[in-house]
Amino acid sequence: MSTYILRRLIQTVLVIIILSYVCFYIMTLMPGDPVELMIQSNPKITSADVERLRALYGLDQPAYKRYGTWVNTILGGDLGYSRTYRVPVEELMIPRLKNTFILSLLSLLLSLAIALPLGIYSALNPGGRFDSIVNFFAFSGISIPSFWMALMLIIVFAVQLGVLPAGGTETVGLNSENFFNFVKDRGTYLILPILSLSVQQIGSFIRYARSAMMETLRNDYIRTAKAKGLERKVIIWRHAFRNALIPLITILALSFSGLFSGALLTETVFAYQGVGKLVYDSIIANDYNVAMISFIISVSMVLLMNLLADILYGFADPRITFS
């Protein structure tokens, strides 16, 4: 198995290198550059200024040379400098990655905690009243646009009821040394974004869990297990659920790979200090260093989570080997 993992890791690195160049090149093809944005906001900029700034930023160089410079900087342990915010990339990204991770993980855990039991229970009683109600809410959750949901939550809980903050990450100026107070404060700001993100996830996870379980419950080995007189609990958890895990692992691996990518709409509406909006803004403003680091993180997460999923398949289904 270690040879398999090593081989996959080498492949992952190669894919990251190739994709990073493709991404860098595509970004250079987009209209406009950072100097362009300066020209728009300052009519006093002269053609000499434009020439000077483009040379200073290396924008007068071909894409492959600029990519080479970027790779050299990264290999030197420097993630670069954000030209939009005028700070080093790590200073800008690390706190946001943490925030996004907390938001995404909590929302994922909440979604799983709600969706899995509901999905499984629905699959065990298909066509029943409970199944119909769960399906109705699952489809509603999937269909509701997340930005609309976010605004509704703000209007109800922040504007009308006034029980939760309308947006932000933490109370401004709160330098609480008490850990409990800190967690309470952050938790207060996380409730609405988590709810907003979870509604859609719960809907889709219910559907996946329900269909995976129903598919498995139709198999011959389940019928055999029932004929053998096994306990219902054993049939559901040992035989059915374990086999239903394979499609669920794929879905979960993909969901986990998005933990650091951010939720652009939710973060924007709730003014949450996450990485989603930062990545969007960096692409729009041609802030190459920030955009490229986010890209590397996203690609790495997808590839690593897929590798993890492949390994987990082996545990879920012993017939799968790594030779």
Partner 1 sequence: MKNLCKASILVILTLMYFVSCTGKKNSSSSVKNTELKIGTSQEFETLNPLIMTMSQTTYMYHMTGRKLVHMDPDTKWYPQLAKEIPTIENGKAKFITVGGKKKIIAEWEILENAKWGDGVPVTCHDFAMARTIALSPNVSIADKESYDMIEKIDIDSKNPKKCSFTYKKARWDFNRHGTFYPVPKHLEDEPFKKFNAQKEGYEKNSTYSKAPTNPGLYNGPYLISEIKLSDHVTFIPNPHFYGEKPKIQKVIIKLIPNTAALEANLRSGTVDMISTLGLSFDQAVEFDKKINAEKLPYLVTFTKGITYEHIDFNLDHPFFKDGRVRRAMIQALDRESLTKSLFEGKQESAIHFVSPKDPWFTRDEKYVIGAKFSKRDAEKLLAEAGWKKGEDGYLYKDNKKFSVNFGTTAGNKIRELVQVYLQDQWKQVGIEVNIKNEPARVFFGETTKKRKFDLAMYAWVSSPENIPRSTFHSTSIPSTKNGYSGQNQPGWNNPKVDKLIEDLEIEFDSKKRTDLAWELQKVYTEEAPVIPLYYRSDVSAVPPNLKNYRPSGHQFHETGKIEEWTLE
| DSSP-derived secondary structure for 141-200 | HHHS-HHHHHHHHIIIIIIIS--S-SS-SS-TT-----HHHHHHHHHHHHHHHHHHHHHH
The reply on whether position 121 binds partner 1 by CB under 8 A is yes
Q: What is the CA radius of gyration of the chain?
A: 24
Query: Which regions of the chain does DSSP assign to beta strands (E)?
Result: 81-82, 87-88
Size of the site for partner 1 (CB under 8 A): 76
The reply on whether position 154 binds partner 1 by CB under 8 A is yes
Closer residue to partner 1 (CB): 91 or 317: 91
x/- mask, partner 1, residues 205-244, rule CB under 8 A, reads -------------------------------x--------
Pick one of 23, 27, 89, 92: the residue that binds partner 1 (CB under 8 A).
Answer: 92
Name residues whose C-beta falls within 8 Å of residue 112's C-beta, 6 or more positions apart in sequence: 205, 252
Q: How many other C-beta atoms can be found within 10 angstroms of the C-beta atom of residue 304?
A: 16
Pick one of 169, 196, 255, 257: the residue that binds partner 1 (CB under 8 A).
Answer: 169
The reply on whether position 114 binds partner 1 by CB under 8 A is yes
Q: Among candidates 284, 280, 281, which has minimal Cα distance to 32?
A: 284
The reply on whether position 68 binds partner 1 by CB under 8 A is no
Pick one of 32, 68, 128, 145: the residue that binds partner 1 (CB under 8 A).
Answer: 32
Write down the residue that tokens 């991404």 correspond to: 23
Minimum CB distance to partner 1, residue 2 (Å): 34
Write down the residue that tokens 């403003």 correspond to: 285
Residue 229 region by backbone torsions, left for phi larger than 0, else alpha for psi between -120 and 50, else beta: left
Minimum CB distance to partner 1, residue 139 (Å): 20
Q: Among candidates 244, 254, 151, 134, which has minimal Cα distance to 196?
A: 151
Closer residue to partner 1 (CB): 201 or 257: 201
The reply on whether position 150 binds partner 1 by CB under 8 A is yes
Pick one of 1, 10, 17, 87: the residue that binds partner 1 (CB under 8 A).
Answer: 87
Pick one of 2, 47, 178, 321: the residue that binds partner 1 (CB under 8 A).
Answer: 47
Dig out the tokens for 149 from the structure.
Answer: 């949901």
The reply on whether position 36 binds partner 1 by CB under 8 A is yes
